[in-house]
């Protein structure tokens, strides 16, 4: 019994999406199979009709502006962004100075008390942290994150010096911190992916500049958000990326035990989410590291994405 050519293969054949050897195989079958010839003609007609109908949904010929015009716009936009960043940085410095002054006034007796107790640095550390630029650099045209509200933020900073933390939204104890440190990205991409511990966001620009700060992710997909754990020395990271279909996939990478506990702890994620663990990737790094891609897409698609992780 001769195997007929499946419908999708005929589409791919007509779309010239097959290799030469596959084409030869299909053509030799077509030459002796009237049923498949008829099917091919029907699919060709369907394909042409589809193209014809879609052609009706065209906005009419447009006249694109000259490339030079577009380049001039890009240059102007870059200059605006630089100015905004400069002003933003200046505003942050002013806020830091004001906050320092306020704290100096507010904490002076407390600091004196601490000095007696042998902890003189308590009032100094917060100012250093505040003066530090936020780790999150806006990737598009949005302005810098608002200046931190002085008191809760600095109290956190004193507790966790030098850590511009992204608090875990699922942890109610971190509530006041969230109010103080407005470093969370606007769309809260990871809001359904609770992260325990102290995390920081890394901007895409920064990541590209700093090759030592490498975070595994799927090559060629727009990055929505990157978070790196502050506490794991082995570099535990979660990267959210968007597929053209609008779905978000997440690449979790790091020491195997951390990745496993992160995956097992996650809650509120759709039950249909599929988890693919690629043993070859795990073993590639001494078996101590693990890389997982999560997303509500078919398993074979997840596997295909796994091959594109850089």
Partner 1 sequence: MNDELERLYQTTYQAVVRFLYRKVWDADRAEDLAQEVFLRAMSHRPEKPRAWVFAVAANLARDEARAAVRRKKHLTLLTNDPGTHPAPVRSVEETMEHDEQVSRVQDALALLTPRDREILLLWDAGLSYPEIAAQTGLAVGAVGTTLARARRRLIEAYDRRETERMDDAAHS
Q: How far is the CB of 291 from partner 1 (least distance, A)?
A: 16
250: helix, coil or strand? strand
**Options 24-32, 33-41, 53-61, 260-268: segment touching partner 1 (CB under 8 A):** 53-61
CB of 6 to partner 1, least distance (A): 9
Buried b (16+ CB within 10 A) or exposed e, 154-166: bebbbeeeebbbb
Please name every residue paired with 166 in a beta bridge, in sequence order, or none if there are none.
Answer: 199
Nearer to partner 1, 77 or 97 (CB): 77
DSSP 36-49: HHHHHHHHHHHHHH
Number of CB atoms found within 10 A of residue 48's CB:
11
- The residue (of 27 and 110) whose beta carbon lies closer to partner 1 is 27
Among 1, 31, 54, 117, binds partner 1 (CB under 8 A): 54
CB of 265 to partner 1, least distance (A): 25
Q: Give the residue, chosen from 60, 109, 118, 172, that forms a contact with partner 1 under the rule CB under 8 A.
A: 60
For 173, half-sphere exposure in the C-beta direction (CA atoms, 13 angstrom radius) is: 4
Name the residue nearer to partner 1 (CB basis): 62 or 105: 62
Nearer to partner 1, 149 or 297 (CB): 297
CB-wise, 105 or 310, nearer to partner 1?
A: 310
Nearer to partner 1, 217 or 289 (CB): 217
**Contacts by residues 204-209 (CB-CB < 8 Å, ≥ 24 positions apart):** 204/139, 205/137, 205/139, 206/135, 206/137
The correct pick among 85, 122, 297, 309 for binding partner 1 (CB under 8 A) is 297
Enter the tokens of residue 223.
């990055």
Q: Which is nearer to partner 1, 10 or 228 (CB)?
A: 10
Smallest gap from residue 228 Cβ to partner 1 (A): 22
For position 53 contacting partner 1 by CB under 8 A, the verdict is yes
Spatial distance between the Cα atoms of 93 and 266, rounded to a whole number of angstroms: 38
Question: Could you identify the residue written with the tokens 């193209």?
Answer: 51
309 within 8 A of 291, measured Cβ to Cβ: yes
Total site size for partner 1, rule CB under 8 A: 52
Of 280, 226, 289, nearest in space to 258 by CA: 289
Work out whether strand 223-229 and strand 237-242 pair parallel, antiparallel, or are unpaired.
antiparallel
Task: Please give the residues from 4 up to 33 whose contact with partner 1 meets the rule CB under 8 A.
Answer: 7-12, 15, 17
Q: Which of residues 62-81 bind partner 1 (CB under 8 A)?
A: 62, 64-65, 67, 70-71, 73-74, 77-78
Q: Which sign, positive or negative, has the C-alpha torsion 218, 166, 142, 186?
A: positive
To partner 1, the closest distance from the beta carbon of 268 in angstroms equals 22
- Residues in contact with partner 1 by CB under 8 A are 7-12, 15, 17, 43, 46-47, 49-51, 53-54, 56-62, 64-65, 67, 70-71, 73-74, 77-78, 220-222, 242-247, 249, 295, 297-298, 300-305, 308
């Amino acid at each position: 019994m001769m195997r007929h050519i499946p419908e999708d293969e005929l589409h791919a054949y007509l779309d010239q999406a097959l290799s030469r050897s596959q084409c030869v195989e299909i053509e030799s079958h077509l030459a002796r199979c009237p049923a498949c010839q008829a099917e091919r003609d029907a699919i060709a007609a369907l394909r042409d009709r589809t193209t014809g109908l879609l052609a009706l949904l065209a906005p009419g010929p447009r006249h694109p502006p000259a490339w030079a015009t577009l380049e001039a716009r890009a240059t102007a936009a870059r200059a605006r962004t630089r100015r905004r960043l400069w002003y933003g940085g200046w505003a942050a410095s002013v806020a830091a100075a004001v906050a320092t002054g306020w704290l100096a006034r507010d904490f002076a007796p407390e600091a004196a008390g601490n000095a007696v107790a042998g902890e003189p640095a308590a009032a100094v550390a917060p100012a250093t942290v505040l003066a530090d630029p936020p780790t999150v650099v806006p990737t598009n045209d949005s302005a810098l994150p608002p200046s931190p509200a002085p008191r809760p933020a600095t109290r956190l900073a004193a507790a966790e010096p030098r850590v511009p933390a992204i608090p875990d939204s699922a942890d109610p104890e971190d509530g006041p911190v969230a109010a103080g440190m407005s470093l969370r990205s606007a769309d809260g991409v990871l809001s359904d992916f609770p992260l325990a511990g102290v995390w920081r966001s890394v901007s895409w620009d920064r990541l590209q500049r700093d090759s030592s700060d490498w975070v595994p992710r799927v090559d060629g997909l727009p990055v929505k958000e990157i978070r790196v754990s502050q506490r794991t020395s082995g570099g535990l990271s979660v990267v959210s990326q968007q597929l053209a279909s609008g779905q978000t996939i997440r690449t979790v990478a790091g020491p195997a035990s951390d990745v496993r506990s992160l995956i097992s702890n996650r809650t509120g994620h759709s039950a249909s989410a599929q988890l693919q663990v690629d043993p070859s990737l795990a073993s590639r790094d001494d078996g101590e590291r693990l890389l997982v891609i999560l997303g509500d897409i078919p398993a074979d698609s997840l596997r295909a994405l796994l091959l594109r992780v850089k």
